[in-house]
Amino acid sequence: MGKLDGRVVIVTGAARGQGEQEARLFVAEGASVVVADVLDDQGKKLAEELGSLYVHLDVGEEADWHAAVAAAKEAYGHVDGLVNNAGILRFNALLDTPLDEFMQVVRVNQVGCFLGVKAVAPEMADGGTIVNTASYTGVTGMAAVGAYAATKHAIVGLTRVAALELAPRHIRVNAMCPGAIDTAMANPARLDPAADPEEASRALDGLYRKLVPLGRIGRPEEVARLALFLSCDDSSYITGQPFVIDGGWLAGVSIV
Ligand code: NAD
């Protein structure tokens, strides 16, 4: 018995990184997963490997959401899970951030989550789950990522409101707040064919050894296990909460 037997879950930004690991784990736990992304070649390849459906879904486009939900229902008959995972990061000091860049981050991270909840929740059977991917920067500040941190705080707020409004239909809504995770977002060497991503990972472990109590960067598989917990009955009495997964980074400072 898998923890997600019979469930149909849409995972956005699933072509790589955390979304890919979520898709892999959810399929292993019995779910039918809709792999959704704008990276069509990578997404299709993964979906083919997993025996899943791939949909092109730009999370900032409402029409794409309606098409994705329709495709999911046509393929599997129903939808009862959503992981809003797609996200982008831009580095800039607030005062140097052009409005266009700020709005680009808002469009993907914040509007994308909102549209996902709006498009999928009405189609969900009672007992559905939504997991929104916020961030460590959704619950604390971080210099040089102002647009990103603003959207991730917004996702935590959206999660709480959605949880309240959807609870009567037994749809649970929670948020994940990852610290630094070893994907292309934190480890751009993963996108560079000339680089050795594992060597870059070891270098990042060295950096985070100083910052993070558990002494290393997190792995996307670890976030996928939190997404699974929040998407299955193991979390049946939990809704409206942000879950920090950061190796203890937010626990406080150590003076020894
Ligand atoms: P990643 O860059 O490897 O993956 C992001 C995925 O989102 C990619 O597949 C990308 O194509 C997709 N995407 C981007 N724009 C999209 C759009 N408009 N529509 C659909 N898909 C789109 O990085 P990741 O670490 O796997 O990121 C997953 C989530 O985790 C993001 O929401 C990110 O903000 C969040 N997060 C990451 C970290 C980290 O350190 N890696 C930390 C905290 C939170």
All domains in the chain, ordered by first residue: 8-181+220-242 (3.40.50.720), 182-218 (no CATH)
Q: Locate the ligand 1 atom nearest the alpha carbon of residue 148 and give its number.
A: 34
Q: Which atom of ligand 1 is nearest to the CA of 184?
A: 3
Of 102, 107, 206, nearest to 145 by C-alpha is: 102
Q: What is the pTM of this model?
A: 0.99
CA 14–ligand 1 middle distance (angstroms)? 8
Measured in degrees and rounded to the nearest 5, phi and psi for residue 176 equal -105, 140
Nearest CA to ligand 1 atom 39: 181
Contact 249/213 with Cβ under 8 angstroms?
yes
Tell me which residues are annotated as active site.
Answer: 148
Res 254: pLDDT: 87
How far, in Å, is the centroid of ligand 1 from the Cα of 211?
A: 22
pLDDT at res. 168: 97
The reported pLDDT for the residue numbered 125 is 80
Alpha-carbon torsion, ordered 130, 135, 140, 142, to 10 deg: -150
Identify any residues that bridge with 204 across adjacent strands, giving them in sequence order.
none
Ligand 1 centre and the CA of 181: distance in Å? Answer: 11
191 CA distance to ligand 1 middle (Å): 13
* Pocket of ligand 1 contains residue 19 by CB under 6 Å: yes
Residue bearing tokens 């070891």 = 202
pLDDT the model gives residue 126: 80
> What six digits make up the tokens of 160?
């709480």
Backbone angles phi, psi at 137, to 5 degrees: -80, 5
Q: What's the longest Cα–Cα distance across the chain?
A: 58
The closest residue, in CA terms, to atom 12 on ligand 1 is 13
d(CA 142, CA 145): 6
Report the 3 state secondary structure along the chain.
Answer: CCCCCCCEEEEECCCCHHHHHHHHHHHHCCCEEEEEECCHHHHHHHHHHHCCEEEECCCCCHHHHHHHHHHHHHHHCCEEEEEECCCCCCCECHHHCCHHHHHHHHHHHHHHHHHHHHHHHHHEEEEEEEEEECCHHHCCCCCCEHHHHHHHHHHHHHHHHHHHHHHHHCCEEEEEEECCECCCCCCHHHHCCCCCHHHHHHHHHHHHHHHCCCCCCECHHHHHHHHHHHHCHHHCCCCCCEEEECCCHHHCCCCC
Residue 251 in tokens = 């626990």
Residue 223 is predicted with a pLDDT of 99
Low-confidence ranges of the chain (pLDDT < 70): none
Tell me what pLDDT residue 17 has. Answer: 98
d(CA 98, CA 117): 28
